[in-house]
A and B are shown apart, each in its own frame.
Chain A
């Protein structure tokens, strides 16, 4: 998780930024960027007139803002800039960036909690998510459940797999009942 935290401004700036203040966060203007996908499925971009054939995205505040403050980097991990809000991008870019974020931040959204069982020292969650059914196994609740606020819950599997409950108040009553016991 640490690697997602706001990276300090890199000492070596990409060439095109060299003339700008190297300590300023560079916000990208929505009109001057477009994202697409190569035939091999790799995420690409044209940013401020320059084409990049591979782009890596980072959520700067992965818990608080899922579609805002997206750090756009080249594969060498140099920051090209930050997209403030992806909803301001053109249609195609927005679909692609959303898809890429969803793939990079593999965080299925829980739609239903089938059951939460405690077996010996393990907690086993059977979940329905927007990406299909899955099972999450936790060693304990106190280290593997996080509450970033606003009724959100992040569940982490023993192996690092994560699922998100967007708003537990919105779940159906069966799921809520399952959840109430463990919260």
Chain B
């Protein structure tokens, strides 16, 4: 508990008993921000003000139970007493989990039950230094960490290409030095040849020298450019691969909350920004730095007084740059956000293009797009505008330096204090020097652009998977298929459980039918078996192994799923069927399709098994798609089969066929099937009725009918419905 706070001494001194548990809340009871302490002992629940005054206390003997009422952005801890419910304290959302635990603790104390132990996840963790809330798996505090680390981490991507980078750097040093030769040669030309009008061999040699340097320079620039491109592309590839890998590693809950199209931009443009910085940026920056130093040395040795004069405006430029750069950073981010919004709209409406067209909303979508487009135009203009506005000013200031040299240098030449050649060389060198200085701002921009891109990229990489693999996964081999739920509770949002205390023991080879109202938690139930999410409480075991101790790969190897939303990948039908078993033979694929009753319709397609089903399989009908998905599950040959509404969108004849297929398939496999059409579950060994996240009934079809409980009602309701419609009986 090093991350939680200690009770203030003023309060601790007054305590008569050793506290069982304590926690600080961040709200006063009237809803104002402020700090109060809840201190729980065996006899009472007390609330203390931060300054050590007792605010209220409730004897435990009065309390019958405790619970939290979650609001939005915060919540309330309520104790049920013999005189009715009492509000103990309020807190903001950051403390939801800890007071959820407190409620359970008080409840258990009041009822004399065994006290629940707090898991590490229940405690909000704060950075010991700056008190910023920390996320669960990261130890590093994001506030205390600095930009330098991000830079270093970014540069670590360049490590594998160290040799090439060094080669590029050497090239760079050489080109930089060679670039400095021509002005010097010009000086000699003016001073030794032109001014004395001395037509010796010198003129020829100097011109040859000038020609040679430009040839060498060009050659080296080409080589350096090629190396740069090579490193850049490789780096970019590495980055993209890593981002994508991290995306694949993340748990479903990460994607539940985000729009998937936003990641397309992240994978591509953010890694591009990082690449640009690392190759162009780093090489360019170090090159320019070198050049500035070299030129400064030459200039000082030519005429130090004049040089100082010429450099007079530079501090001004540096100050301007540094004022500008934070502003530019924010503007860049704004522009990025506009692009991001625009991309989301495109992604969104294209993914739902069928709905858009079905409701005739093309023009509404277009205007939604236009609005965002206008935003982007605006921020584009602003970013580019500042750029275009500031750049000439930099040139102007830089120009002032040149003017000073012309004036004072010119006077020196007239006084014979300096040769014309030196003056021309000074002017040329100064031009070369001011170039990079003007670009200081650009450089900083690049850096800030890249750092924010890197932040976004590393954010994805650093997001801990909510469903982590254990370090030493148990080797389970091929399982028998016993599945047991022990008191499983889970909510997509912590304070809002969707499954509540589910316990169920399923023998290997058993077929379980899950029924219940829409939203009862059936799909959630099977999500838990697949371990798409981890339970908040309780455990799920397969053959007696907690599924958390099994590697997710191994686990999913054992499980075949046909999900409620059938998703087919862009590819042929054959590829889709063989998705989980790429080495499947053509015969395997056909056999699986045959079992799923898909073979016949596939054969009749013009392109047969090679029909491209395109994005999401839109070329197939709903029922056809489902049968392809069933074939995909079959070829996987799983020990545990999960069918979520696998036959929802097929006609009754096809359903019967699929059912036969399934009954062949389920032999010897543990099966969980969900169906709203109860007749589908005829073959189930046991039916489990879920209602509001709880199991209300378990038994065979006959048993449950006899019990005349929830299942009976569902069956009756369906009978009624089909009588109205005058079709099949349930």
Contact = CB atoms under 8 A, between A and B. Distances in A.
Interface string A79-111: 000000000000000000000001111111000
Given A104-B71, A162-B73, A181-B330, A40 B85 contact: yes
Interface string B134-176: 0100000011011101100000000000000000000000000
Interface string A60-72: 0010000000000
A105 B94 CA distance: 14
A42 interface: yes
Interface string A96-131: 000000111111100000000011111010000101
B333 interface: yes
Interface string B116-139: 000000001000000011010000
A131 B32 CA distance: 4
The B contact surface, by secondary structure, is mixed
A137 interface: yes
A131 B327 CA distance: 32
A105 B90 CA distance: 12
A159 interface: yes
A162 B72 contact: yes
A169 to B, nearest CB: 18
Interface in B61-104: 69, 71-74, 76, 78, 81, 83-87, 90, 92-94, 96
B496 to A, nearest CB: 6
A122 B142 contact: yes
A139 B336 CA distance: 15
Contacts of A108: 33
A108 B83 CA distance: 32
Contacts of A134: 33
Contact of B34 (A3, A132, A137, A140): A132
Contact of B94 (A56, A129, A161): A161
A102 B71 CA distance: 10
Contacts of B84: 38-40, 42, 53
Contacts of A29: none
B72 A107 contact: yes
A123 B456 CA distance: 13
A48 B511 CA distance: 49
A131 B334 CA distance: 30
A42 B87 contact: yes
Sort chain B's interface into a size bin: 35 or more
B71 A40 contact: no
A4 interface: yes
Contacts of A157: 93-94
A104 to B, nearest CB: 4
A141 B333 CA distance: 9
A132 B92 CA distance: 13
A145 B90 CA distance: 25
A50 interface: no
> Number of contact residues on A: which range applies?
35 or more
B459 interface: yes
A6 interface: no
Contacts of B143: 119-120, 122, 124, 137
B39 to A, nearest CB: 19
- From A53, A107, A140, name the one whose CB has the most chain B CB atoms within 10 angstroms: A140
B710 to A, nearest CB: 12
B142 A11 contact: no
B325 interface: no
Given A42-B85, A42-B87, A56-B69, A120 B93 contact: no
B33 A131 contact: yes
A102 B74 contact: no
Interface string B338-349: 001100000000
Nearest to B95: A159
A103 B517 contact: no
Q: Which 7 A-B pairs have the closest CB atoms?
A: A160-B93, A106-B74, A132-B33, A40-B86, A159-B94, A121-B455, A41-B87
Interface of A: 1, 3-4, 11, 38-42, 53-54, 56, 62, 102-108, 118-122, 124, 129, 131-134, 137, 139-143, 157-162, 181-183
Given A40-B85, A53-B84, 19 more contacts: A1-B72, A4-B72, A39-B83, A39-B84, A40-B83, A102-B31, A103-B76, A120-B142, A121-B142, A122-B142, A159-B124, A160-B93, A160-B94, A160-B96, A161-B73, A161-B93, A162-B73, A162-B93, A181-B327
8 contacts: A40-B81, A53-B85, A106-B71, A118-B330, A119-B143, A120-B147, A132-B33, A160-B94
